[in-house]
Amino acid sequence: MQIDDFPVPDTLAARGALQLAQEYQSPAITAHALRSWLWAEAFARMEGIHDIDHELLYVAAVLHDIGTVTAFDNHTISYEHAGGHVGVALTAGAGWAPERRTRVLEVIVRHNWPSVDPAMDAEGHLLEIATGLDISGARPDALPEAFRREVLAAYPRGTLAAEFSACIADQASRKPDTAARRLQEGGIARKLAMNPLESLD
């Protein structure tokens, strides 16, 4: 398993999502988004999940935390809902049908669920377990070590632990009824610091 096994979709929506991420997010958060996409694609292969929308998965992965940045933050809804709506707007501009635009919102929102049934939402399941690995260190040995090292070399973790811990603390404080509060109370700062990926980076 190698990065080259998972080509980036060459589409207007995919290019636009990456451009937004790079313009508005920090390098560490954007690298996290790209690692999450690669982990999700790798998990799909490991779990034998074949019938997925790769472009949808890429766009959702790249934009899944964009609701945390100042330009897209929303004072009334969770950052994953805010980011999901950014995805809806982007894909509308790319000509996606309404049903598929809604899927971007669903996948981004569900990445913050404690778990997602793959039978209900394969892309949501894959992004949830991928971000679980990259943030909390869940299932650290499920993917080949050589692949994990290659991904980390291409997209280093950098200051992710400090940045994302501060981000979640801020979101939880301002929006205590959202998933950020659960993540904060679940010890996300400790999980980030102790993530086994940190020792491979």
Mean pLDDT of 182-189: 84
Predicted model pTM: 0.94
Q: In this model, does residue 201 exceed pLDDT 70?
A: no
Amino acid code (one letter) for 74: N
Q: What is the pLDDT of residues 38-76, one digit of tens each?
A: 999 999 999 999 999 999 999 999 999 999 999 999 888
pLDDT for 165 equals 87
* The pLDDT value given to residue 182: 87
* Average pLDDT for the chain: 93
Task: Just give the CATH number of 8-200.
Answer: 1.10.3210
Q: Is the pLDDT of residue 25 over 70?
A: yes
What mean pLDDT comes out for the span 140-148? 93
Q: Is the pLDDT of residue 115 over 80?
A: yes
Mean pLDDT, to the nearest integer, of 187-197?
86
Label residue 21 by pLDDT band (50, 70, 90): very high
Q: Give tens-digit pLDDT for 27-40.
A: 999 999 999 999 99
Q: Between these two residues, 164 and 103, which has the higher pLDDT value?
A: 103
CB contact burial 127-151 (16+ within 10 A = b; e otherwise): bbbbbbbbbbbbeeeebeeebbebb
Phi, psi of 97 (to 5 degrees): -70, 155
Average pLDDT over residues 106-133: 95
| pLDDT tens column, 72-82 | 998 889 999 99
User: If residue 197 lies in a helix (H) or strand (E), which one and from where to where?
Assistant: helix 197-200
User: CB of 67 within 8 A of CB of 81?
Assistant: yes
Residue 147 contacts by C-beta under 8 Å, 6 or more apart in sequence? 1, 2, 3, 42
So what's the pLDDT on residue 32? 97
pLDDT band, very low/low/confident/very high, at 200 (cuts 50, 70, 90): confident
